[in-house]
A and B are shown apart, each in its own frame.
Chain A
């Protein structure tokens, strides 16, 4: 599909006719995922898959080039004493740090994701957001994580939010676009569903739960709602959209529950880093500890793993 054809096919859906989410049903379904027992070799495979899906993230005002270089080293050398580990999918930084990351990751097949569009609030003019995006892409970001304008969305100005995503998608060029809904500020699962539909029809390659700056961040309930929206979007249009829960997923056990949910909602086709990511900073070390526990039989100490 050419760019113009793709743009033409993007149409704001009638969100007043969006499906109503059954919250009780979602809770029950989520509880069911958490009762699955994944052990032994399946657990090891799951843990490795999780590692390969991680967007290793640092998004702090106090980030320095040194901190980002350190994070990149961590991405390349997860735990050298364990051979055969996959590397993480991407590292995720602020636009000003993209150049540093690019230099540090030369020769490695690790994507560079950058947040943009006045992250995390998104409270700025469209022009500024587009410049922010172009700057990150120019510096070498291969993935852009944008935030939607929650104020406009909650005020019912869906057209504004939609047009904004379309514009940012265009500014991204070849870079993948992940659209952050910031579900902690949306309030209800119904709105999460509407925002997901809106973002996907505006051209999002991924939809993402949270910035990590607002509580609650990713929850299984919200993620399930978004996965179901992705499934329905795929049925309607035939276009696959990726999913990225971010914030608050810090244990392997929880991450495995997410994988179970992914598998039972979208199926095998989505079980790759191409279509599913975890936005996390401390998850990687917990997964490494669990992998080492599986191979040695001993519970591990966090002290034995590099922080970043």
Chain B
């Protein structure tokens, strides 16, 4: 780059209801590299940002759940397409946050492939997990999956792209809407991934991404009465207890994902099933 030009740095914003916003609190924290150089200022989201995200997610969830499995798959595939086109940016951001180039390239590739993987499951998980149940009365009895609803996700701190993508893809492919807290120490890719989502026909509000402090926000993720499930990755014992106690108030589904091998284990239809509810129907049959 020539010396007479000043590079234009990106403002890293949070993503709520399809809009890129700063935290309503006006707070931010400074992200630094290993040599203590400033990389960027990152929004320090507040409980009100979270509250607004829940409203956005709730507003989007029903119609997203009502979209066809085919469309869910198409949109996940579309996210992968757009991410593929922006791979250099993501690799660069991972490197900027201290990850080796080869590892970074691998993580971006796996993230793209992970989206394709879940896109493929969109019209298949239902058949795998649904059942016709034998009952000893004259009923046709069957169980099908329905999305849990609004899912709050505290994504892993370490696997800041692949872990994030796996959590989001598995939740939304099943018709949920989600609010995701990005990695605290490596938040750049999450914000850029929001831009990818925004360009991928994902309806506004289906995915909302916040940056900020896990210790500050966990409590609100777990206690909000209009959140139906919480997924938390690598929470310590104390955090796990807090989440489970608070989540009990509205019987939230609580899903712990600790020490997951994101490159392997996180490609699984069981991750989709985690945020699904089984609905069983008894249909009378006459003779």
A300 at the interface (CB under 8 A from B): yes
Chain B interface residue count, CB cutoff 8 Å, equals: 10
CA distance A297 to B226 in the complex (A): 14
Mark contacts of B42-58 with chain A using CB atoms, 8 A cut-off: 1 yes-contact digit, 0 otherwise: 00000000010010001
Chain A interface residue count, CB cutoff 8 Å, equals: 8
Collect the chain B residues with CB atoms within 8 Å of residue A301's CB: 225-226, 250
Collect the chain A residues with CB atoms within 8 Å of residue B249's CB: 298
Collect the chain A residues with CB atoms within 8 Å of residue B250's CB: 301
B220 at the interface (CB under 8 A from A): yes
B223 at the interface (CB under 8 A from A): yes
* Residue ID in chain A nearest B223 by CB atoms: A298
Query: Taking the nearest CB of chain B, how far is it from the CB of A185, in angstroms?
Result: 29
Between A and B, how many residue pairs show CB distances below 8 Å?
21
Query: Taking the nearest CB of chain A, how far is it from the CB of B53, in angstroms?
Result: 11
* Residue ID in chain B nearest A304 by CB atoms: B225
CA distance A301 to B58 in the complex (A): 10
CA distance A180 to B10 in the complex (A): 50
Collect the chain A residues with CB atoms within 8 Å of residue B226's CB: 299-303
Query: Taking the nearest CB of chain B, how far is it from the CB of A173, in angstroms?
Result: 45
CA distance A304 to B226 in the complex (A): 9
Query: Taking the nearest CB of chain A, how far is it from the CB of B59, in angstroms?
Result: 11
B257 at the interface (CB under 8 A from A): no
Chain B binding site: helix, strand, loop or mixed by DSSP?
A: helix
A residues 78-108 touching B (CB-CB < 8 Å): none
A residues 274-308 touching B (CB-CB < 8 Å): 297-304
CA distance A271 to B220 in the complex (A): 35
Collect the chain A residues with CB atoms within 8 Å of residue B54's CB: 299
Query: Taking the nearest CB of chain B, how far is it from the CB of A224, in angstroms?
Result: 25
Query: Taking the nearest CB of chain B, how far is it from the CB of A290, in angstroms?
Result: 11
Contact partner of B220 among A299, A300, A302, A304, CB < 8 A? Answer: A299
Query: Taking the nearest CB of chain B, how far is it from the CB of A163, in angstroms?
Result: 47
Query: Taking the nearest CB of chain A, how far is it from the CB of B256, in angstroms?
Result: 22
Query: Taking the nearest CB of chain B, how far is it from the CB of A123, in angstroms?
Result: 36
B198 at the interface (CB under 8 A from A): no
B224 at the interface (CB under 8 A from A): yes
Query: Taking the nearest CB of chain A, how far is it from the CB of B230, in angstroms?
Result: 13
CA distance A104 to B5 in the complex (A): 75
Query: Taking the nearest CB of chain A, how far is it from the CB of B253, in angstroms?
Result: 14
CA distance A134 to B220 in the complex (A): 54
10 new A-B contacts, CB < 8 A, other than A299-B224, A301-B250, are A298-B224, A298-B225, A298-B249, A299-B51, A299-B54, A299-B220, A299-B226, A300-B225, A302-B226, A304-B225
- A residues adjacent to B (C-beta < 8 A): 297-304
| The 5 nearest A-B residue pairs measured at CB | A301-B226, A301-B225, A299-B224, A300-B225, A298-B223
